[in-house]
Structure 1
Amino acid sequence: MDFNDTPEEAAFRLEVRGFLKANAALKGTAGPANFRGEIGAAELAAAKAWQATKAAAGYAGITLPKRWGGREAPAIMQVIYAQEEEKYSVPTGVFDIGLGMCLPSVIHYADPELSDRLVPSALRGEEIWCQLFSEPAGGSDLAALRTRAERAGDEWIINGQKIWTSGAHLSDWGLLVARTDPTVSKHAGLTVFIVDMKLPGIEIRPIHQMSGASHFNEVFFTNLKIPDAYRLGEVGKGWRVSLTTLMNERLTGGFIIRRPDISDLVDLCRLLTVGDRPAIKADGVRQRIAAWYVRSQGIKLTQFRTLTALSRGKEPGPENSIGKLVNASMAQEIADYGLDLMDAGGLAMDPELAPLNMLFQEAFLATPGSRIAGGTDEILRNIIAERVLEMPADIRVDKNIPFNQIPTG
């Protein structure tokens, strides 16, 4: 691994720091005011304004062609920008799915005319994207989806349901995977489409979460008509397109800094007492902090391998599942431990009373979802075992069986 920037990377990092210093505020030690992910009109306007500012300065699509407003720079430059931006309090989450997961598939598989229409507006923050993958009956098995797409001339008629769709209620466009041929094996009969989320035939129902937010949604399709021009890739080759999206999802998710982290826990322990002394000086507390610190450093070094590969022009691989798997579970464990340290005070759902603006309370309610979104722990462990460690794959009793012959119920 190479821990140092090349001269070109160091120069770009200095440039990015100058831009951020001039246009954004550094993060404080307190938790974010809207940790649950609830996005209202004010938050949405702020996110779009920040994205437009980035785009105007050429930081919205660093690796993308200049005709779209990009820089045509290596992927490592995008990572460097993300590292520096993480230090600042800027509203970016609303665009993570579109820019980090959906657009790579659009760019790779869409016709040039369609890409020229969709990519620049997304980079400028004018349009928001969602990912229409998960379904109620499929669980973590994406290829078990039952949403149907039937061809009618130059159009496709879509009927079915998606669930846990983050930000669907805010989105202008969606990336939809549907079944176009139930007579072949489940991975072979899928096709991916770009969906205008404002079309008739789409019903979006927010899901009220225990955190109080409604960021996830159910999405229903009733005789939705999509032009064939909005199909990505070949008919029946949607699994390949989906993997492009999922690989970028793993890369994006693996590098997200999930709160609360070690620094948040240290800040909390400086405010609380255990017995008759500050929590930060209690041996048991220090042992827990040390254990999580070691785990976080392991993830940091694993990510350096990815950074080294990107710096050398290589593509991200399945090893990026490690970051998301460990970070999501660690954030939940730290949130739980923080509430334990607060004792009865952990019940205080008031940012003026709870330490760190109620960061740990809200994280306790929100972090379980992060272990499902973007790939469950079980799916990520399978990816790591089979594609990183090259262990034998799980036995699949539905392999090479036509989808419509797989027993259900």
Structure 2
Amino acid sequence: MSTMTETDVAEFRKKCVDFMDTYAVKSGNAMPSFEDQKAYLAAAAGAGLAGVPFAEEFGGGGLTLEHEKVWREVKGNYRMMDSEFIISHGMCLPMLNEYGNDEQKTAYMADMISGKTMWCQMFSEPGAGSDVASLQSKCELDGDEWILNGQKVWTTLAHKSQYGVVVARTDPEQVKHAGLSMFILDMAAPGVEIRPIHQIDGGSHFNEVFFTDVRIPKDHLLGEYNAGWKLATAMLMYERVAIGGAGSGKINQPTYKLLKSAAEESGKLQDPVVRDQLMKIYAMETTKSMVAMRNNAEQKAGKTPGPGGSLGKLFGSNIAWKMREIALEIAGMSSIAWDPADASGAERQRIVLNSFQSSIAGGTDEIQRNIIGDRVLGLPRDISVDKGVPFNQTKVGTQA
């Protein structure tokens, strides 16, 4: 039941609108820089809006998920001001809040909420992408420290992050899903090497991360020992909700608006075929927003995101593929190429080029369909040839 009166909602909404009018830019303006985003989060934390539902003692706003819903709705009317922090705030923060102990929360949450520190997540490996449980990075206890060795890949914003959440194998004698643990890692620790991966749009958003005898304090274990798969699954659900529900405080259609603008510029807005394509995108984004709002409602009820988060993530990927097809029809080569001297005018092209990653990042489309079929629709699971086999007796990735 609601604990906020209509007056409470109106007053809090006004506070949110006043803040966003002061610190945010309206949709259609330039993308905020990384420094702009950090300044925005610092101001939001000071106003109790950067971590609305998290405890005040850990740097949050100390309010309810009803307040968070209002805050998301208001934010949806503006340019997304914290896009670089979608993993830090959408995945790492709720995991630390749910599974961290009080000492860990006290040490890290306030700085994470305020944007003073950024966090990344390290799951995927060269031999463990869609099948994350096959990961081979290992962490062994040596007195009061863990020693981490291995490699991660496709780690978003590792080069900008001060801390990360890493999953490693701690007991190779157990089956692959059972012998994993999750750790908090200082990205500046000796033995951590970060190498950028150069992307099609000229940027380097992703990275390879190598670990060579990296020492992690014993108390940096997140959650329980050998419970890493449970935590990894929860974190992936948060990730799919974060990706599939970005900016989902209300029903919105950002891709439709992007394509509509391109159609207006090219003089094709009155073309009946183009108008039909635009309305398909409009309908798809409306449906995606509604799915995201349902997932947010589940979180409001105190639930960890479930497999339904894969619906929004998969639908977002389908929209991205459709968007790229329509953009090429409307604007041709100008939808993917731009004048290097006019970098400020390349936002639409970068969005189109980056749409290729949508069916991979956060779990491939095939994996999302498996999750939906298995855990949402109750269909039979795929055959698993390594079920019940200790990990050190399996042949996965580069393991002999």
TM-score, normalized by length of structure 2? 0.90
Aligned CA distance change for structure 1 residues 75 and 183 (closer, same or farther; 3 Å): same
Residues 205-220 of structure 1 aligned to structure 2 (within 5 Å): 205-220=195-210
SS at match of 2:165: strand
Residues 232-251 of structure 1 aligned to structure 2 (within 5 Å): 232-251=222-241
1:287 — aligned with what? 276
2:259 — aligned with what? 265
1:343 — aligned with what? 332
Matched, 1:386 2:374: yes
Cα distance per residue 1:143-176 (max 9 Å; x no partner): 0100011111111111100000001011110101
Residue 76 of structure 1 contacts residue 307 of structure 1 at CA under 8 Å; is this kept in 2? Answer: no
Residue 24 of structure 2 contacts residue 81 of structure 2 at CA under 8 Å; is this kept in 1? Answer: no
Query: Where does the alignment leave 5 or more consecutive residues of structure 2 unmatched?
Result: none
Residue 266 of structure 2 contacts residue 330 of structure 2 at CA under 8 Å; is this kept in 1? Answer: yes
CA shift at 1:187, angstroms?
0.4
Identity %: 39
1:14 — aligned with what? 14
SS at match of 1:304: helix
CA shift at 1:107, angstroms?
2.2
1:49 — aligned with what? 39
Matched, 1:128 2:118: yes
Structure 1 range deviating more: 318-327 or 157-166? 318-327
Match of 1:374 among 362, 365, 368: 362
2:27 — aligned with what? 27
CA shift at 1:89, angstroms?
3.1
- Match of 1:46, as an amino acid? D
Q: CA RMSD in A?
A: 2.4
SS at match of 2:346: helix
Residues 161-240 of structure 1 aligned to structure 2 (within 5 Å): 161-240=151-230
Aligned CA distance change for structure 1 residues 260 and 352 (closer, same or farther; 3 Å): farther
Structure 1 range deviating more: 214-223 or 297-306? 297-306
Length, aligned pairs only: 390
Cα distance per residue 1:281-300 (max 9 Å; x no partner): 11211121122222222222
SS at match of 1:318: coil
2:140 — aligned with what? 150
- Match of 1:340, as an amino acid? E
Structure 1 range deviating more: 171-180 or 79-88? 79-88
Residue 72 of structure 2 contacts residue 247 of structure 2 at CA under 8 Å; is this kept in 1? Answer: no
1:95 — aligned with what? 85
CA shift at 1:11, angstroms?
4.0
Aligned CA distance change for structure 1 residues 25 and 353 (closer, same or farther; 3 Å): closer
1:276 — aligned with what? none
- In structure 2, distance between residues paired with 1:325 and 1:385: 12
1:37 — aligned with what? none
Structure 1 range deviating more: 313-322 or 345-354? 345-354
- In structure 1, distance between residues paired with 2:177 and 2:93: 22
- In structure 2, distance between residues paired with 1:408 and 1:379: 18
Aligned CA distance change for structure 1 residues 335 and 76 (closer, same or farther; 3 Å): farther
- Match of 1:132, as an amino acid? M
- Match of 1:26, as an amino acid? K
Residue 104 of structure 1 contacts residue 244 of structure 1 at CA under 8 Å; is this kept in 2? Answer: no
Matched, 1:317 2:286: no
Matched, 1:306 2:300: no
CA shift at 1:377, angstroms?
1.0
Which structure has more RCO (C-alpha within 8 Å, separation ≥ 6)? 1
1:40 — aligned with what? none
Cα distance per residue 1:210-262 (max 9 Å; x no partner): 11010100000000011111011222111112122112112211211599601
Structure 1 range deviating more: 16-25 or 337-346? 337-346
CA shift at 1:369, angstroms?
1.3
Query: Where does the alignment leave 5 or more consecutive residues of structure 1 unmatched?
Result: 35-42, 274-278
- In structure 1, distance between residues paired with 2:175 and 2:284: 40
- In structure 1, distance between residues paired with 2:161 and 2:34: 11
Residue 251 of structure 1 contacts residue 316 of structure 1 at CA under 8 Å; is this kept in 2? Answer: yes
Residue 64 of structure 1 contacts residue 71 of structure 1 at CA under 8 Å; is this kept in 2? Answer: yes
- Match of 1:47, as an amino acid? Q
- In structure 2, distance between residues paired with 1:159 and 1:108: 27
Structure 1 range deviating more: 397-406 or 337-346? 337-346
SS at match of 2:224: coil
- Match of 1:262, as an amino acid? Y
SS at match of 2:200: coil
Matched, 1:365 2:353: yes
